[in-house]
Amino acid sequence: MSRQTKHRNSGLLLIAAGLYLASGILVGLRAAPVELRQVNTGAFPRVELTVGQSSPHPLFVGNALEPADFAIEELMADRVIAAADIEIVSMSDTADRLDLVIVTDATRSVSARNFRAGISAAKALAEGLESGDRIALYSMRGEPRLELDFTSDRAAALGALSGLERNGRRTRVYDSLYSGIYAARSAVDGSEAEALRVRSAVLLITDGRDEGSYLNDNDCFELAEMGRRLEIPIFVLLYGGDGDRRLLTRLALKSGGRLLEQPAPGELGNLRADLRRLAERVYTLRYQSSAPEVTYPGEQVFVRVSMPAGGDVRYAAAASYRVPFGSFFAARPLVLAGLFAVVLVFVLLLLILVFVLYFGWRRRGRIAGDDSPDLELEAEPDSDPTPYIAAGETVPGEIANPSAGPRDPAGMLMEDERTLYMREYNYRVLQLALREARRYGSAMLTKSGAVEGGPQREYDLFLDTTVLGSGRWANIPVHDSAASPVHAKIKKVDSRFVVYDLLSASGVYLNGHKILRPRALNDGDELRIGRTRFTFSGSP
In b/e form, how buried is each residue of 276-299, taking b as 16+ CB within 10 angstroms?
Answer: bbbbbbbbbbbbebbbbebbebee
Could you tell me the pLDDT band of residue 363, with boundaries at 50, 70 and 90? confident
Give the pTM: 0.50
Specify the fold of 97-264.
Rossmann fold (3.40.50)
In 332-469, which residue ranges form alpha helices assigned H by DSSP?
A: 333-371, 414-436
pLDDT digits (tens, 9 = 90+) for 396-418: 444 444 444 555 555 555 667 78
- Averaging pLDDT over each range in 5-9, 188-192, 526-530, which range is the top one? 526-530
Please say whether the beta carbons of 287 and 84 come within 8 A. Answer: yes
Give me the residue spans of the domains in the chain.
Answer: 3-83+289-331, 97-264, 420-539
For residue 303, is it left (φ>0), alpha (ψ between -120 and 50) or beta?
Answer: beta
For residue 327, is it left (φ>0), alpha (ψ between -120 and 50) or beta?
Answer: alpha
How far, in Å, CA of 215 to CA of 416, rounded?
95
Query: Cβ neighbours of residue 156 under 8 Å, at least 6 residues apart?
Result: 148
Amino acid (one-letter) located at 317: A
Q: What is the mean pLDDT of the chain?
A: 79
Domain 420-539: assigned CATH number: 2.60.200.20
pLDDT digits (tens, 9 = 90+) for 177-223: 889 999 988 887 655 554 467 889 999 999 888 887 887 777 878 88
